[in-house]
Structure 1
Amino acid sequence: MLVHICCSVDSHFFIEKLQHEYPDEKLVGFFYDPNIHPYSEYRLRLLDVMRSCKKLGIELIEGPYDYENWINAVRGLEKEPEKGARCEVCFDKRFEVSAHKALELGERSMTTTLLVSPKKSQEQLIRSGEAFHTSHGVEFIAFDYRKNGGTNDQSRVSKEEQLYRQDYCGCIYGLTMQRDQQHRLMDEMFSPLSNQILPASIEERLELYTKRMELEEQNTPYRIVKERFLNYRLVRASVKSGGCVIPSYPLFYSTISRTTTEGKIDFEINGQFYLNREEVRFITCETFNALTHLDYANVKALMFSPPSIDIEIALRSHLTQSPFNTSAIMVVDVIPTAKINLILETKTYDDTKEKLIIID
């Protein structure tokens, strides 16, 4: 039987149930989910599915990430709610490819782990599956493992196995509506061109879960725990002086009370140059290098290949002598002497992130 897989939280419990109830059935996992966005999230979910299938001892095949074709398939349905018409088209798209894969492998039946997800309509899934039984000759088998406390059992299994528990379906449209309803920043879409790893980002989780797999291969005990912290995202920033934009780099946690401010350098203390407005400070790239023991040629080099966030936070703590300071600290090549116009749009917010702890 071909088992279309959407994510490890659904698939691990679902496949465990199948293996228990149908011990003689050969199961082949098929990860085909071009709806997942961004691509880093797709990679993260696939990584955890690979781990899950390895633990369960079943073969896993990855389908194509044909995201553009998926976008075209759901065009015009962007505003549909969860379990609406867009979801049905999404199921049709994924089931069509899954049915062709089943035929290619010589399988005559298929199912999907989407059936166990409480966020999905089983009626929609069954309707789509039966349509492809009629058109492709591949029998769709709808297992209902939600009933009789199944959803609670699924949650228990996901915690016991320390699976990656995403908090949105996968598609950009569902994510947008969910974050709007929650009045939350859609920080999943923040991904710096510099490839700097942001706290609580998908990229950070991808690193963590990759490291987790390495630890398991080494039989090193660990736990994944959650912790609360103050998160930060830079939306845009620029510095103008003398009518010209000059290269500048805001240290992590740099904020001002409004989006824009202006002023002139008022005084200097220990290499920090203070603006006469908004508690803004400037340091040179030379000072930045000296305090971080790095060797950037100029601010442009810093902008396109910044250090880790931990280095930036350590530098901020050193400069301000406080772990709670969020004043803007701007790195420039040369301290401006003319009037300065600063644009700094940022978001700071309470958040949670996962942390990997190695158990001695």
Structure 2
Amino acid sequence: MEKALVHICCAPDSIYFLEKLKNDYKTYQWIGFFYDPNIHPKSEYELRLLETKRVCQKLNIPLIEGKYDDEDWLLKVEGLEKEPEKGKRGEVCFDIRLKESFELAKNIGAKAISTTLLMSPKKSINQINHVASVFSKDYNIDFISVDYRKDNGVRIMHELTKAHEIYSQDYCGCIHGLINQKDDIDMFMWAKMMPGSKEELVFIKSIRLLAESMGFYTKEIKFSFLGWDLLNAYLFVDDNPLASYVRYYSKPTTGVVKTSIDKELSTENTFYLTKQNLKIVFDFDTNIFDPSPCFIVDKSFKDTLFKSQKIKAKIASQISYKDSSILIVSRKPIKDISIIKTYKTYERYFETPTYDVMDILSKIEDEAISFVGAFDMGGLNKLKEMFDGREICHNSWSLCDRVL
């Protein structure tokens, strides 16, 4: 059987397209190629890759991952930042991704090539065909152009995406699309995995891919919660920056606060400052629903802080609505489960992950395991609401190792 390569841009555009392509062109052995150096940020790229792996796993299509080089992509589209969807930047982007796809097709001996870009309602089929026709002639490899959007194809694609609980992105993928197509842009990177973040969703999707490959039943439950974004913060002690975290839900300070330790009120685990209700705590398991502006500092700095003469601090933050997920994994259908063990999906300040995901999955027997996003902000309550009457076991200290 002759080989054929299909360039894959994302899971939603793939789930219906690939199945149709396999059925309509059965004489080929199809190989997937995920090559999308345009996607920003890296967490978004990882999320789309994970969901593409799930789709290919379901359809039994081998998948090759291309090189992720967003810096090179940005240089090649320089000057086209303001171009609209289906504009000149899109054509250059197709040129970059399809050229690499034809190069790979030549190297593996593929006789034909296609792309799931043809499925996206936001892409111009004429633009894609124009770019592909040039490479088809140069490489002497057939380009299979199909319009699976017709005959309710887009509706079927959306139905399959929803049925398989596949992440559906809300912008094209590149940083320019992110800026131009979204009103609320999360441009901030975190050292820790935050509740409701892309990193958290990548973690949940990673576990799902692993669990499904091991033959487990999986179910993903989405929910909304009141979130919080840190925009900017710092803590200086006697003019030296001090390593610190800002506690979730901390209200913003009014500008820069020049203050000092209130030694009369301060306790062993909490140092109160003299202005704007600011405080510094040394215990990570503090009340996250206390909105007082609060820094969390390692205990090794306690003496330095107590002896300090002056402190300069700032917190810029905002409340926002966010979404998260609960992943349930079991050996039998979810409706037959009576006991659910829960684990958090994010790290909190100085905690060290204490559980390994593979170890957790390998020990599943009659009970179900749930990995709960935004655990303290509504995730656990959502799980209890959805499975009222069933035994739910959790340990507030339990965390999952994100390295799968």
Given the alignment of the two structures, is residue 223 of structure 1 paired with residue 219 of structure 2, yes or no? yes
Aligned residue for 1:316? 286
Q: How far, CA to CA, are the matches of 1:356 and 1:227 in structure 2?
A: 11
Among residues 109, 113, 116, which one is paired with 2:112 in the alignment?
109
Aligned residue for 2:171? 168
Q: How far, CA to CA, are the matches of 1:327 and 1:165 in structure 2?
A: 36
Alpha carbons of 1:353 and 1:130: their partners in 2 closer, same or farther (altered >3 Å)?
Answer: same
Aligned residue for 2:326? 355
Q: Taking every aligned residue pair, what percent have the same amino acid on both sides?
A: 38
Q: How far, CA to CA, are the matches of 2:239 and 2:33 in structure 1?
A: 57
Superposition deviation, residue 175 in structure 1? 1.0
Asked if the contact 1:256/1:278 (under 8 Å) is kept, the reply is no
Higher fraction of helix: 1
1:111-147 Cα deviation digits (max 9, x unpaired): 1101111221222112211222233322222211111
Question: Which range is displaced more, 252-261 or 239-248?
Answer: 239-248
Superposition deviation, residue 59 in structure 1? 2.1
1:195-214 Cα deviation digits (max 9, x unpaired): x1112222211211111123
Superposition deviation, residue 355 in structure 1? 2.2
Given the alignment of the two structures, is residue 268 of structure 1 paired with residue 265 of structure 2, yes or no? yes
Aligned residue for 2:193? 197
Alpha carbons of 1:282 and 1:120: their partners in 2 closer, same or farther (altered >3 Å)?
Answer: same
Alpha carbons of 1:185 and 1:37: their partners in 2 closer, same or farther (altered >3 Å)?
Answer: closer
Alpha carbons of 1:20 and 1:243: their partners in 2 closer, same or farther (altered >3 Å)?
Answer: closer
Alpha carbons of 1:24 and 1:48: their partners in 2 closer, same or farther (altered >3 Å)?
Answer: same
Counterparts of 1:180-259 in structure 2, within 5 Å, are 182=183, 184-187=184-187, 189-192=188-191, 196-259=192-255
1:18-63 Cα deviation digits (max 9, x unpaired): 1222333321211111112223332222222222112111222222
Q: Which has the higher contact order (CA 8 A, sep 6+)?
A: 1
Aligned residue for 2:74? 71
Q: Secondary structure at the match of 2:36?
A: coil
Amino acid in the other structure paired with 1:316: T
Structure 1 gap segments, 5+ residues each:
289-311, 318-322
Q: How far, CA to CA, are the matches of 2:275 and 2:226 in structure 1?
A: 25
Structure 2 gap segments, 5+ residues each:
338-404
Q: How far, CA to CA, are the matches of 1:223 and 1:121 in structure 2?
A: 35
Alpha carbons of 1:168 and 1:34: their partners in 2 closer, same or farther (altered >3 Å)?
Answer: same
1:86-133 Cα deviation digits (max 9, x unpaired): 111000111111112222222232111011112212221122112222
Q: Secondary structure at the match of 1:29?
A: strand
Q: How far, CA to CA, are the matches of 1:244 and 1:64 in structure 2?
A: 41
Alpha carbons of 1:146 and 1:327: their partners in 2 closer, same or farther (altered >3 Å)?
Answer: same
Alpha carbons of 1:273 and 1:58: their partners in 2 closer, same or farther (altered >3 Å)?
Answer: closer
Asked if the contact 2:118/2:146 (under 8 Å) is kept, the reply is yes
Amino acid in the other structure paired with 1:331: I
Calculate the TM-score normalised by the size of structure 1: 0.81
Superposition deviation, residue 10 in structure 1? 0.9
Alpha carbons of 1:258 and 1:178: their partners in 2 closer, same or farther (altered >3 Å)?
Answer: farther
Aligned residue for 2:159? 156
Counterparts of 1:272-291 in structure 2, within 5 Å, are 272-283=270-281, 285=282, 288=283
Q: How far, CA to CA, are the matches of 1:17 and 1:167 in structure 2?
A: 24
Question: Which range is displaced more, 243-252 or 42-51?
Answer: 243-252
Counterparts of 1:287-306 in structure 2, within 5 Å, are 288=283
What count of residue pairs does the alignment treat as equivalent? Answer: 320
Aligned residue for 1:325? 290
Q: How far, CA to CA, are the matches of 1:240 and 1:66 in structure 2?
A: 37
Amino acid in the other structure paired with 1:324: F
Q: Secondary structure at the match of 2:190?
A: coil
Alpha carbons of 1:335 and 1:212: their partners in 2 closer, same or farther (altered >3 Å)?
Answer: same
Q: Secondary structure at the match of 1:27?
A: strand
Superposition deviation, residue 352 in structure 1? 1.1
Q: How far, CA to CA, are the matches of 2:91 and 2:106 in structure 1?
A: 22
Amino acid in the other structure paired with 1:92: D
Q: How far, CA to CA, are the matches of 1:337 and 1:97 in structure 2?
A: 58
Question: Which range is displaced more, 254-263 or 220-229?
Answer: 254-263
Aligned residue for 2:23? 20
Aligned residue for 2:130? 127
Q: How far, CA to CA, are the matches of 1:197 and 1:203 in structure 2?
A: 6
Aligned residue for 2:355? none
Amino acid in the other structure paired with 2:210: E
Counterparts of 1:2-41 in structure 2, within 5 Å, are 2-41=5-44
Q: How far, CA to CA, are the matches of 1:232 and 1:336 in structure 2?
A: 32
Calculate the TM-score normalised by the size of structure 2: 0.73
Asked if the contact 2:227/2:320 (under 8 Å) is kept, the reply is yes
